Structure 1
Amino acid sequence: MGRKRKGRDISGWLVLDKPAGMTSTAVVNKVRWALEAKKAGHAGTLDPEATGILAVALGEATKTVPYITDALKAYTFTVRLGQATNTDDAEGEIIAASDLRPSDDDIKAALSPFLGDIMQVPPKFSAVKIDGQRAYKLARDGEEVELNARPLWVEELVMVDRPDADHVVLEMTCGKGGYVRSIARDLGAALGCHAHVKELRRIWSGPFDLENALKWDDVMRMERTPELDSHIQPLEHGLDGLAEVRCTPEGAARLRNGNAGMVMPVADIEYGDEVWASFQGKALAVGIYKSGELHPNRVFVQSS
């Protein structure tokens, strides 16, 4: 019999403005300690030196992480032109350099092929697994790393500033699995000048944005106090991308036991749609809508 995990049964989201110099895992572990939470996870890794939105899921909210991971997200990032690094960011060693500096018009023209459905090769220093091992570990050990291209949806990629000849600031909105470092690397290759990411900031992810994100210093100041609890956002925010249906009392009882339950009809919801069901304002389940019933694939256990 497994050992029971210690901590409080709290559910919801703590949305942070992650500082540079911390891994996403370290942030989650510290948040779990600060809240004395039994369970926590995050919805989308940020590189240690990257900053911005890191949404930490607590308790039952961890069941909604896939819906945030799959949602659109946006980044602003500074690209250093004229240098390629082995990590595709400023933390790595320079492996190629060029004196060529493209014009603003050249850069804007080169962005177009990165829009829409593209294929992207992740950085060699990434968490992608190769034969069961992380690519970054193999790369650090000096092994040759070959990664396959992966599909990515890029909704928007625009130039927002050109501070000087060596740097350009871009903003990108993309889907799941995008590597900003790969965008910078491939843009440098397309321009013939080499490039890497110098600074990276995630400005929103699904329903979460910086306006409602806690600064790390505030998390530390409020650790293990009711004040920090007051900043936990409802579990339901993680379901923002799905339509909501309301349960009948009988349907709620059935859903709590993992069975299909009756829900009230809602316009614009069709047979086979994935939706989430609520009762008295609380999410009960996510599942497939079929002929007036929700067939659950995730059930939430929330206190009243």
Structure 2
Amino acid sequence: MDKTSRVPVPCLALYLKHGADTDKPALFSISEKKAINGGDIPGLTNTNSWVTSQGWILVRDTASATTFLQNPRDFDDKIQLPHLPQDVHISSTCLLSCKPTMPGCVVLLVEPVGTIIWYCHIGDDEKWVEHDYDIGTQVLDPPLDGKDHEKVPICWIAACQGKFYFNGGFESIGVLEFSPSPTFSSIAIIDPIIGGLGVMGMASLYMVESLDELYMVCQMYDSDMKTIYDVTVYRMDFLKQQWCIAEDIGGRAFLVASCYFGASRSADECGLEKDCVYSIFARDKYFEVCKVEDGETEEYDLIEAPDSQGGMWILPVEKK
């Protein structure tokens, strides 16, 4: 039996809505913009799997009561983990602090609603730890359910050189480290306008680690919140504590998706366009490719795509 996946990776996975005939997402070719027929990625489901930017897929197999990291290209390439509790939100963001074969690697799940994270240290922990964090409060305007403040949640987040960086913005970047318990701190941004963040309006932000450097993708929307009129990429200069506009991304391709997913891959190795940002708009059945240098953007329809609740990039595991 062939133990390797016949699905060309990288590809797109469209997660089907509740009540669909199958628990498997629909897979789409990036190059052909159409469905991949007859292929399957082990462990990938609509409800019990989380994709990481390193390519590994976190799988909670309810039938066998096991949880593991799955290489999407190799059925036998798995890393066993403690079994994940059932009450972890399916839309959580999943990250690895480093390559999962390295000592001390942390698997982190950040829930999208509230202030809950789940984590475990590969090979060291016998169970997942649930942690309710407190990184400050923010104003609710207008008030909700009689409350005018709420705890600040972690939003956009990326792992870089063993640490997790989150909520990068005008004034600071949050930092999460495990030693072995979670410790939160922050880095002040010096002169953010010089750093390139003097932007106004509605935006989607994504943090991306690429070759041990930290980047942020900023997508600016028109007032309709549907049309993107500008995509800018920033690189963090940790010595100057500034975000600097990136004119290129070293021949890489950045791939971003909802739930704060951001990844980087060699464009040549993955058959993608160099120095471009790939964005999924699953509910509208297309993806977008934007050139970092000049902002030129192309939209690509996903031919005969089903109705879906979201989409994700399935990437090859980086072995180097």
Structure ranking higher on relative contact order (CA contacts 8 Å, 6+ apart): 1
Greater Rg, structure 1 or structure 2? 1
Tell me the TM-score normalised to structure 2 length: 0.26
Tell me the TM-score normalised to structure 1 length: 0.27
The structure with the largest helix share of the pair is 1
